[in-house]
């Protein structure tokens, strides 16, 4: 069983489109995260939810909107995709903030053409 | 804001040698963690060291933490080709509303 699963693994889309990335964890963790990894492998936190409540909302364009229907799921919706949105997006979860390591999904490689 | 800075950016060694990677950070922390990322994969948690600990071991991994210098090191002993990956340090401020902040990573290549 995959602990943190993301779909899709690859996403190629045209500028201006709207797309979603889904994430699910079966670890019973309370906190979930979205990170963006750029072409230089730099990881930047985007959002975090704790038990369906948004607790971190970093400076990202309003075109990015996270949604957490329950504590096991955290989806990322992106409107009006731009070339600069091309990156690898990672979902992660942890038992609680400040405790223990994070478990990461395998990533979604988004390419905007 | 970026917290951790790894050094070196890239490291190439032979199998059997030891690999040492360093990480420096800027603000106070609750704990510091090291992660490995194989090419095209997600990050895997390796080890966590708390701010009141100075050294921790896990198998062939040894992590040290010097909070006075705001630095940490990861030592991989007797490296193997399978250790080839990028290694990241990440700091946890332990405050509500914060998440792990990652450094830029060290790319390790182990050749046989």
Going by pLDDT thresholds of 50, 70 and 90, the confidence category of residue B91 is very high
Give the residues across from B20 on adjacent strands.
Answer: B75
What is residue A100's predicted lDDT score, i.e. its pLDDT? 83
Q: Which residues of chain A neighbour B41 with C-beta distances below 8 Å? A: 106-107
Q: Which residues of chain A neighbour B29 with C-beta distances below 8 Å? A: none
Nearest to B42 among A41, A56, A104 (CB): A104
- List the single best residue of A60, A101, A105 to mutate versus B (max B Cβ within 10 A): A101
- Report strand pairing: A53-57 vs A43-50: antiparallel
- Which of A59, A62, A72 shows the shortest CA–CA distance to A22? A72
State whether A106 and B42 contact (CB < 8 Å).
yes
The percent of residues in chain B predicted with pLDDT above 90, rounded, is 86
- pLDDT tens digit sequence for B38-66: 999 999 999 999 999 999 999 999 999 99
pLDDT over 70 (residue B3):
no
Instruction: Spell A38-52 as b/e; 16+ CB within 10 A means b.
Output: eeeebbbbbbbbbee
Give the residues across from B76 on adjacent strands.
Answer: B19, B61
- pLDDT tens digit sequence for A11-54: 999 999 999 999 999 999 999 999 999 999 999 999 999 988 89
State whether B30 and A55 contact (CB < 8 Å).
no
Nearest to A98 among B40, B43, B94 (CB): B94
């Amino acid at each position: 069983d995959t602990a943190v699963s993301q779909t899709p693994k690859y996403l190629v889309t045209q500028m201006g489109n709207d797309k979603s990335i889904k994430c699910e964890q079966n670890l019973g963790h309370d906190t979930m995260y979205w990170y963006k990894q750029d072409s230089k492998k730099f990881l930047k936190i985007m959002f975090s939810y704790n038990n369906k409540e948004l607790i971190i909302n970093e400076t990202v364009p309003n075109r990015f909107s996270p949604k957490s229907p329950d504590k096991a799921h955290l989806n990322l919706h992106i409107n009006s995709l731009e070339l600069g949105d091309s990156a690898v997006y990672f979902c992660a979860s942890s038992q609680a903030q400040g405790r223990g390591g994070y478990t990461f999904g395998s990533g979604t490689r988004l390419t905007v053409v | 804001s970026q917290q951790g800075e790894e050094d070196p950016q890239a490291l190439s060694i032979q199998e059997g040698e030891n690999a040492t990677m360093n990480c420096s950070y800027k603000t106070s922390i609750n704990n510091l963690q090291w992660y490995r990322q194989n090419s095209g994969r997600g990050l895997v948690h390796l080890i966590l060291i708390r701010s009141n600990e100075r050294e921790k071991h896990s198998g062939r991994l040894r992590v040290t933490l010097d909070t006075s210098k705001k630095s940490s090191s990861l030592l991989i002993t007797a490296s193997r080709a399978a250790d080839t990956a990028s290694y990241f340090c990440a700091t946890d401020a332990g405050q509500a509303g914060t998440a792990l902040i990652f450094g830029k990573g060290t790319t390790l290549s182990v050749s046989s």
